[in-house]
Structure 1
Amino acid sequence: MKVLKSRPALRWLVPAAAAVVVIGGGAAAGTIVANADPALPERSAAQLLVDVQNAKVDGLSGTIVQTADLGLPALPGITGGSGASPDLMKLVAGSNTARVWYAGEDKVRLAVLGALGETDVIRNGSDVWVWRSSGGSATHYRIPAGKGEHEQQKPALGVPTTPKEAADAALAAIDPTTAVSTTGAAKVAGRDAYELVLAPKDTASLVGQVRLAIDAEKHIPLGVDVYAKGANAPAVRIAFQQVSFAVPDAEQFTFNPPPGTKVETPSESELRDKQKQAAEELQREAGKAEAEAPEGTKVVGKGWASVFVAKLPTGDQEAGAGLKQLTTVAGALPQVNGTWGSGRLLQSALFSALLTDDGRILVGAVAPEKLYEAAAQK
């Protein structure tokens, strides 16, 4: 929704409501065998954390498959109905496939295979291409000399698309509310791996545990599973289905636009302007998000059991369009009420969301009762 673009604080609603998507994704059933025993030497959780932080490979290529089954009801424009997006439906209840090639920080290619076509992001030295087959369009960027070498790389599509990105997101969440341990060795894409387990200490969280499969030799994450409390199968998974640590051929990073492709090539000044705008936006969100947040925005609770609360904006055209879409979705949800008021409830295996009739939205990886408690704190 466009309303999220103009209200930085409201962007928290998306990762909070889809926390499992941000942390995980999936591999085809059977690629992770939790009880396999490749007779690996014992390693503690602390040792595995150090291994991941120090991991470095010269190259790799492979196929990554994401699966999710959040148990969501049919929602207009999301998981059901004529207006539903096929790619979004697969993100919350289905699978997605991507290919990845890596030969160093300046030679990377990611190809995401969607329901309506393929999207490729390719970096080859100072050249960066973004190609979308569905629209027959490509954008060619030139990275100015001295830029990009030491900048932290972000997920190309805004959400984790590789096990490493998903694992980084999970590891970043480690704090005193998280128990860290290990479990039996695993097999992922035919390779021996250790399992690092992150679990909420607060029993109020719907998340049971997050399991990271760490390659026994290369020490990089091969897969991430997110389990709901009490579940025997992951609700969300992202993992390599096939992986090779041979350095890919240089031709994998050479892109030649197919005939008829509309190519956009921003000038260096346009690229600098875009980088400046992106930097300014990040700065605003980091330093001024709280000041720009709508009145009533807050976080109730701590850690895995925290609940994000926001009062939806009103009064401008852009917000009105977004709220209309949200209202359409909410109309398909069951109505609930209590001493806190009344509203509509969305439940899944890993999170709950409450849209109140007085214009608030509450999201958390908790049972509805926790949302109701937070809603009562007006």
Structure 2
Amino acid sequence: MKRLTTDVLVIGGGAAGMACALSAAKTGVEVTLLEREPVVGGVLNQCIHNGFGLQFYQEELTGPEFAVRLQNEMNQEKVTVIGESYVREIDVINKRAMVLSPQGAFEILSKAVVISTGARERPFGSLLIQGDRPSGIMPAGLAQRYVNLENYLPSRKAVVLGSGDIGLIMARRLTLEGVEVVGVVERMPYPGGLTRNIVQCLEDYEIPLLLSTTVTKVLGNGRLEEIEISEVDESFMPVPGTSRRLKADTLILSAGLLPQVEDFDNDLRIDHINKGFLVSNTGESSVEGVFAAGNNVAIFDLVDYVAAEGWIAGRHAALYALGESTSGDRVPVVRGENVGVLVPGIVDMEENLRLYIRLRKPMNEGTVILKELDFEKAFSYGVPSEMIQIVMNKEKLAPLMGAGRLTVEVR
């Protein structure tokens, strides 16, 4: 069997993987990037709307523009990209991966590994909705691919279940293509997407947003014909007497994303709130020399954050491969009151701290408290869909050594 060697192996060629490969290559090491699609870019390639790059590049770009910018920069460095490749098996301890590609099966040996496999959409089967099994039910990302990449119009009259950002963006996109979007149904009492997307994708196009409401049944003979919706109580149970039916030929699912960790969760520790890999602020996982970055760590709200974390993980993976790892003392990060998603789970004293926090519930105002660092940051109008980011220089982290942990809470 053919055997390849590389300094840093990056698995996944989306925003995190490309930024990681670029950062590692700039450190002077040899980098190999594996991507299951024929080209790199991941979901960016089908996100033709703008709003990307404002932090990472300090200018507004579309998804494909963001991807091409990273790809062009990678092309100027020592990065080998292997497209249409699949990791069949990986030994994370010995950094050995078995790979399948159109060129055949081969083995890759590396000194450091970065996993940037992104996220997958929550499937219809997990929602436990009653009814028939008609065609016309699909995740928002698939609908986006149909319209933006394949040039197919999957619907004439649609309902969107869930108010995640991809669903909101597709509500607008389908409307622009002449599809009647009957409404966006959200079981929570507040929307799940960014505020700007609520305004620009729904309000600007007068698309109804039905909060505290869910789909309880789908009906159709072959193709979807009707969707039954009901209001829900505080326990998300349908309220009797509130059900009604909407005519639609398509149900677009925007019920959330799940970090793609299944192929590695037996070897690497998982944060069961984030549902992704537990990593430090260097991106290193629970296995030495194995790093993770992007939406397989937690679901980020901005691709700029994903790319920034990939950049950091790539640099530290390269340093590890060179035998120049600067890993220092580490302490765990502990969730306090009102904190949901929280990245990272470990603080390494040799790297600056970048905290990403999702609230458990909306707040008109509040304060993020880093207890052991005697740090507070006030905010106004915080919602779970939008991350709060806190950046702190590593020189300010010294008090954590005496405390043995960092507690993050919101009041």
User: TM-score with structure 1 length normalisation?
Assistant: 0.29
Q: Which has the higher contact order (CA 8 A, sep 6+)?
A: 1
